[in-house]
Structure 1
Amino acid sequence: MTLSTLLTDATTHLTAAGISAADARTEARMLVQHAFGLTREQLLLRSEVELDAALLEPFLLRRASREPLTYILGERGFYGLSFHVTPAVLIPRPETEHLVEVALAFLFTSLGSLGLATPSGFAKEVSYSDETSGASYPLRSEERAISRTQRVPRSRAVERGEVNKSGGQRQVLDIGTGSGCIAITLAKLLPDTSVWATDISEAALEIARENATRHGVQVTFCRGDLLAPLPLDLCFNVIVSNPPYIAPSEASTLEPEVRDFEPHTALFDNTLGGEGLSFYRRLASEAPARLVPGGLLAVEVGQGQAEAVARLWRDAGLIEVSITPDLAGIGRVVSGNKL
């Protein structure tokens, strides 16, 4: 079967499985590239070459069952880096890049120039196609993160010079690290910062460690619940988290790619009567004590949750609480500083 016919048939097959026509065309191309080891240029130049359709079939069947394209390809772009991804971890999403930006902007403004340099092999400005919408998203560079610093308020503790007074190494913590995309990106961009990451899943931590090795960074990974596995005397300049924030009652509203394949422990607030805010309540209760004066607690939130989480932050005594919107204008990151 010729390559062009194979692409047409694959697109038809995916469309019949309920995938939109626009996405089906893009995904058929990506699956063909994956199955036959072709580059985009080869795909365009070899339209009449004969290929064995049997090599594509297992990948096509998996996607037709609505398994996420990322799990089939095994890779996902995040903030200009590529991460190995399996069903053991949540798929990195563009919205989470805003959480990285908030952390970088805070560290840049509060602790002085970080001397950020583009590491070898780090793409300063690339893009990738989102598997669910077919839209092309820019992968933001550290320069774009720094450009946002004027919109990030300096905490009063920073202005009083109380942040990191000892001059010790900056400490950053990622709670619920999953693939490690947040922690590893921060470690890549902040080579003089000590980065820690926790997760309750050993399978997820195995993937995160693999990704850290791939990108040549040192991250201290600890298995356990939230802050529990960390040394009691360890405090952080920044704590970030993308915790489970979907209420179980909303499961039926999710796309099958999410509901049926991504790890439920990373998606759902499975506490008794969980409405999506349980982990934020725990973070509001436990995290401030582990911040240095002026330190930042920043989290990703679901649509419609930002104001509720901001109230939790204020009730916990955090100041300069702010909400950062995503590219769609939805409140996506809630952050606040320790007095």
Structure 2
Amino acid sequence: MRIKSNRIEDILKFALQELEGIYSENEIKQMTYSLITHFCNIPKTSILANNKQAVLESELLKLNFAIKDLKKEKPLQYIMGYTDFYNIKLNLNHKVLIPRPETEELVDMIIKENKGKKDLKIADFGCGSGAIALSLKNNIPDSEIWAFDIEDNAINQTKENAQALNLDINIEKKDLLKDNFSDYNFDIIVSNPPYVMEKEKSLMRDNVLKHEPHQALFVKDEDPLIFYQAIEKIAQKNLKPKGKIYMEINESLSERTKKVFKDYDTKIIKDLFDKYRFISAEKLT
């Protein structure tokens, strides 16, 4: 099937026909608007005001391929090569996890609790695209940020985004489970580690399972808290007294995760969808 013409109304009709049954009608419309804005530089307000305007033939070809990619359930952010996160633009040219709205909530919590503080030393374990580390640096500019990841794709993507945003952070390739951490003396440790159990894969959408890096999402059923335990161990020697840990968690493992931080002043916090999604743990000594 081809797009009938290069008018926006026909592009939208084509998208609705091609993607029916995969996404909701509203999802299809919103994704198509985003693609038109991205490839054709037409604002959404202009699209809605005049859907009979035409795009260039070269742009139409890009839109056709993009809609075909959506049909294969490739995430929109990967198609466009970027995502917006907490008022910064993050490139996604490498195979890293797409930052979620819940992670924006985590960042917002940290910023609100620490805005205006000077000379904070903050670690982001499992930095991925650099979303957490760079948004914290952007909003707490006097802080010293360290971003760690084991994956080359994540290290390269974080470096690329730091350069594009002109934000100066420290980026190191390290394995949380094996490498030695000593004498960092952090004020804050933050992480969105893998926490989805393999048995929960059936609950995930195909666009996630087919395209996003599984090592950033899933943990073995028999050892689902392995990264939380590793971070707690690192915090014993590298987090200052009264320093805080902020992490995303698996809702079904919230109480078990809290027990990992039993020697801390620990709170389980709900997200905007009323799910137990975060944990904050203050080191007592």
Normalised TM-score (structure 1) = 0.76
Which residue matches 1:118?
none
User: Partner amino acid for 2:242?
Assistant: G
Which residue matches 1:220?
170
Unaligned runs of 5+ in 2: none
Q: State the 1:229 CA deviation.
A: 5.7
Q: Please give the secondary structure, in 2, of the residue aligned with 1:294.
A: strand
Distance 1:79 1:174 in 2: 16
Distance 1:226 1:290 in 2: 13
Distance 1:308 1:241 in 2: 17
Unaligned runs of 5+ in 1: 116-168
Distance 1:259 1:193 in 2: 36
1:13 corresponds, among 18, 22, 28, to 18
2:269 corresponds, among 324, 327, 338, to 324
Distance 1:36 1:8 in 2: 17
Q: State the 1:208 CA deviation.
A: 0.7
Identity %: 29
Q: How many residues align?
A: 276
CA contact (8 A) 1:179 1:208 kept: yes
User: Partner amino acid for 2:283?
Assistant: K
Q: State the 1:305 CA deviation.
A: 2.1
CA contact (8 A) 2:8 2:52 kept: yes
Which is worse superposed, 250-259 or 25-34? Answer: 25-34
Considering Cα pairs closer than 8 Å and 6+ residues apart, tell me whether 1 or 2 has the greater RCO.
1
Please tell me whether residue 181 in structure 1 is matched to residue 131 in structure 2: yes
Distance 1:55 1:187 in 2: 35
Q: Please give the secondary structure, in 2, of the residue aligned with 1:76.
A: strand
Which residue matches 1:47?
51
Normalised TM-score (structure 2) = 0.89
Distance 1:254 1:217 in 2: 34
2:242 corresponds, among 275, 285, 294, to 294
Q: State the 1:275 CA deviation.
A: 4.9
Which residue matches 1:198?
148
Distance 1:275 1:22 in 2: 39
CA contact (8 A) 2:195 2:218 kept: yes
Q: Please give the secondary structure, in 2, of the residue aligned with 1:114.
A: coil
Q: State the 1:181 CA deviation.
A: 0.7
1:75 corresponds, among 58, 70, 82, to 82
CA contact (8 A) 2:94 2:153 kept: no
Matches within 5 A, 1:51-70: 51=55, 52=57, 53-70=60-77
Q: State the 1:98 CA deviation.
A: 2.5
Over aligned residue pairs, what C-alpha RMSD do you find? 2.0
Q: State the 1:232 CA deviation.
A: 1.9
Please tell me whether residue 277 in structure 1 is matched to residue 280 in structure 2: no
Which residue matches 1:35?
39
Distance 1:231 1:323 in 2: 26
User: Partner amino acid for 1:69?
Assistant: L
Which residue matches 1:95?
102
Distance 2:178 2:107 in 1: 23
Change (3 A) 1:204 1:322: same
Which aligned runs of 4 or more in structure 1 are off by greater than 4 angstroms? 227-231
